[in-house]
Amino acid sequence: MLSKFSKLFLFNSYSDKLDEFKPINNWIVKMYLCGPTVYGLAHIGHARSSVTFDILNRYLRFLGYKVKFVRNYTDVGHLEHDADEGNDKIQNQALKEKLEPMEIVQKYINYYREDMDSLNILRPNIELQATSYINEQIDNVKSILDKGYAYEVNGSVYFDIKKYNDYFKSYGKLSGRNIDELINETRELNNQGEKKNNIDFALWKKADDKHIMKWKSPWGYGYPGWHTECVVLGTKYLGELFDIHGGGYDLKFPHHECEIAQSNVLNNTNLANYWIHNNLVNIDGKKMSKSLNNYITLQDLFYNENNIFNKVFMPMDLRFLFLQTHYRSTLSITKDSLESAHKGLMKLINAYLYIDVLEYNVDENNINNEIEKNIEDAFDIIFSELNNDLNTPSVISGLFNIVKVINCIRSGDIKLNEISKELFIRLKSDFKSIIKDVLGLYVKTIDKSLFEYIINSYKTAKYRNDYSEVDKIRDFAKNINIRFCDSKDDIYIEYI
Ligand code: ZN
């Protein structure tokens, strides 16, 4: 029988299959996630990546692993266009907002942290900024030059991909690309500039006089290329080979291919054993982009009436919506899907809040084997599907099977003595752990004294048949997102 102690399988983009997860050091997992380039507010796409790796982080912790989780902020070197062209995104934004580049960085890091906290993302063990490690990046570039896999032209240093691939034979394996095709494709662009081959990438870029963010290097004033930082930051805190490297699908190429290439040259490793990628987000079936005007920041979705959905949603609605789709599938977000995610979340949370305070105050004298089997089967599905590459949609359907049982207990259709005390305790603790600890879901509940006050007022008004007062209290309750439910022998509240 499958249980939470069965083996965990994760889809490894590098091997292109489900691999059993075996960390390098028994119970310690070292995980690196590419963080955002901090020149603007985080959007829904950032949130999906964060939630995906938060579930992985939480589940590994739940299994008993000690997770060392590192995430960076790109605050230099990410240029406007691919192929190392255009201005630095941070510098552009600084000019636009008339602020120092580092003020831009701090401003958007502050927003990012706020957004991640509201999504209930566990904070990393170590957060890093690329600009704090310029010397280390220069050292790496020097080593790659010394080993003969890079070349300097006019103060810039480029990684020689063709030479790398002639020896290591693995460029393109992660993203499923063929180097000859890549060279042919980019040759047609005919804007090779100073590179030997267009697919070569900048390890270090020369800065002209107008460039604000620049540092002194053996090749003159310049700044590191975008792909340089993660290798330095990852190896500095997690070692030359760590367990998991994560990011969105769009980072597989060129960013992660370029990281693997540098790591092979520097340390003869692929940097990480498991390369894990989450799929991307569409809005109403269309790619999210500023030009289509369907670009939704988390700040707009959570706090401002954004002009796409014309409604604000709770961060937990978005989190729950993500969990209803497997992280490797594309997800199209609509107003309807967010609204139904909200309803599903509330159903789950109401069952959670009810079972959380329910005591087993009966004698076990009427055990119903069929009900017990339903509960056990549901938990088996939940744990085996978590182990099956974090298959959260199936985990949620398993949870809803448990919700059905909990709601029957509440309505009296299932009596508590039909379940053994032992299974009841497991039902309570596992249901809570999966929702709270693994899936990271919660809602803000109302204060206990307010709760008691309004439920007592409601009961009194009903007892007196004072229906205008009952309506008033119902309206007030609605404003704070709760409703009263009248059952056979009790009145209780539900969150809506
Ligand atoms: Zn990265």
Supply the CATH classification number for the domain 286-438: 1.10.730
- The CATH superfamily holding the domain 9-278 is HUPs (3.40.50.620)
Q: How far is the CA of 255 from the centre of ligand 1 (A)?
A: 6
Q: How far is the CA of 77 from the centre of ligand 1 (A)?
A: 12
Q: How far is the CA of 470 from the centre of ligand 1 (A)?
A: 57
Q: How far is the CA of 208 from the centre of ligand 1 (A)?
A: 25
Residue 227 is predicted with a pLDDT of 95
pLDDT of residue 308 exceeding 90: no
Tell me what the pLDDT averaged over the chain comes to: 93
pLDDT of residue 488 exceeding 90: no
Q: How does strand 28-33 pair with strand 9-12?
A: unpaired
pLDDT band per the 50, 70, 90 thresholds, residue 399: very high
Q: How far is the CA of 438 from the centre of ligand 1 (A)?
A: 25
Whole-structure pTM value: 0.94
Q: What angle do CA 288, 292, 296 make, to 5 degrees?
A: 45
Q: How far is the CA of 227 from the centre of ligand 1 (A)?
A: 7
Q: How far is the CA of 496 from the centre of ligand 1 (A)?
A: 40
pLDDT band per the 50, 70, 90 thresholds, residue 164: very high
Q: How far is the CA of 242 from the centre of ligand 1 (A)?
A: 14
Where are the CATH 3.40.50.620 domain residues in the chain?
Answer: 9-278
pLDDT band per the 50, 70, 90 thresholds, residue 5: low
Higher per-residue confidence, 192 vs 438: 438
Q: How far is the CA of 260 from the centre of ligand 1 (A)?
A: 11
pLDDT tens by residue, 10-31: 999 999 999 999 999 989 999 9
Q: How far is the CA of 432 from the centre of ligand 1 (A)?
A: 34
Q: Show the 3-state SS of the chain.
A: CCCCCCCCEEEECCCCEEEECCCCECCEEEEEECCCECCCCCEHHHHHHHHHHHHHHHHHHHCCCEEEEEEEEECCCCEEECCCEEEEHHHHHHHHHCCCHHHHHHHHHHHHHHHHHHCCCCCCCEEEEHHHHHHHHHHHHHHHHHCCCEEEECCEEEECHHHHHHHHCCCCCCCCCCHHHHHHHHHHHCCCCCCCCCCCEEEEEECCCCCCCCECCCCCCEEECHHHHHHHHHHHHHCCCEEEEEEEHHHHHHHHHHHHHHHHHHHCCCCEEEEEEECCEEECCEECCCCCCCCCEHHHHHHCCCCCCCCCCCHHHHHHHHHCCCCCCCEEECHHHHHHHHHHHHHHHHHHHHHHHCCCCCCCCCCCHHHHHHHHHHHHHHHHHHHECCCHHHHHHHHHHHHHHHHHHHHCCCCHHHCCHHHHHHHHHHHHHHHHHHCCCCCCCCCHHHHHHHHHHHHHHHHCCCHHHHHHHHHHHHHCCEEEEECCCCEEEEEC
Q: How far is the CA of 284 from the centre of ligand 1 (A)?
A: 28
pLDDT band per the 50, 70, 90 thresholds, residue 489: confident
Q: How far is the CA of 409 from the centre of ligand 1 (A)?
A: 49
How far apart are the C-alpha atoms of 400 and 173, rounded to whole Å?
40
pLDDT tens by residue, 458-485: 999 998 999 999 999 999 999 999 999 8
Q: How far is the CA of 304 from the centre of ligand 1 (A)?
A: 31
pLDDT of residue 157 exceeding 80: yes
Where are the CATH 1.10.730 domain residues in the chain?
Answer: 286-438
pLDDT of residue 87 exceeding 60: yes
Q: How far is the CA of 387 from the centre of ligand 1 (A)?
A: 26
Q: How far is the CA of 167 from the centre of ligand 1 (A)?
A: 24
pLDDT of residue 2 exceeding 80: no
Q: How far is the CA of 124 from the centre of ligand 1 (A)?
A: 15
Q: How far is the CA of 210 from the centre of ligand 1 (A)?
A: 27
Q: How far is the CA of 256 from the centre of ligand 1 (A)?
A: 7
325-350 in b/e form (b: 16+ CB < 10 A) is bbbbeebebeeebbeebbebbbbbbb
Q: How far is the CA of 263 from the centre of ligand 1 (A)?
A: 13
Residue 292 is predicted with a pLDDT of 77
Q: How far is the CA of 280 from the centre of ligand 1 (A)?
A: 17
Q: How far is the CA of 268 from the centre of ligand 1 (A)?
A: 19
Q: How far is the CA of 35 from the centre of ligand 1 (A)?
A: 7
Q: How far is the CA of 36 from the centre of ligand 1 (A)?
A: 9
Q: How far is the CA of 465 from the centre of ligand 1 (A)?
A: 64
pLDDT band per the 50, 70, 90 thresholds, residue 192: low
Of all residues in the chain, the percent with pLDDT exceeding 90 is 82
How far apart are the C-alpha atoms of 496 and 483, rounded to whole Å?
7
Q: How far is the CA of 63 from the centre of ligand 1 (A)?
A: 27
Q: How far is the CA of 55 from the centre of ligand 1 (A)?
A: 19
**Of 158, 159, 155, which is closest to residue 219 (Cα–Cα)?**
155
Residue 184 is predicted with a pLDDT of 80
CB 400 within 8 A of CB 381: no
Residue 490 is predicted with a pLDDT of 80
pLDDT tens by residue, 214-235: 999 999 999 999 999 999 999 9
Q: How far is the CA of 314 from the centre of ligand 1 (A)?
A: 29
pLDDT tens by residue, 353-386: 999 999 999 988 889 999 999 999 999 999 999 9
Residue 117 is predicted with a pLDDT of 98
Q: How far is the CA of 250 from the centre of ligand 1 (A)?
A: 11
pLDDT of residue 96 exceeding 70: yes
pLDDT tens by residue, 400-454: 999 999 999 998 999 999 999 999 999 999 999 999 999 999 999 989 899 899 9
pLDDT tens by residue, 314-348: 999 999 999 999 999 999 999 999 999 999 999 99
pLDDT of residue 3 exceeding 50: no
Residue 181 is predicted with a pLDDT of 85
Q: How far is the CA of 230 from the centre of ligand 1 (A)?
A: 5
Q: How far is the CA of 24 from the centre of ligand 1 (A)?
A: 21
Residue 59 is predicted with a pLDDT of 98
Q: How far is the CA of 203 from the centre of ligand 1 (A)?
A: 13
How far apart are the C-alpha atoms of 319 and 50, rounded to whole Å?
10
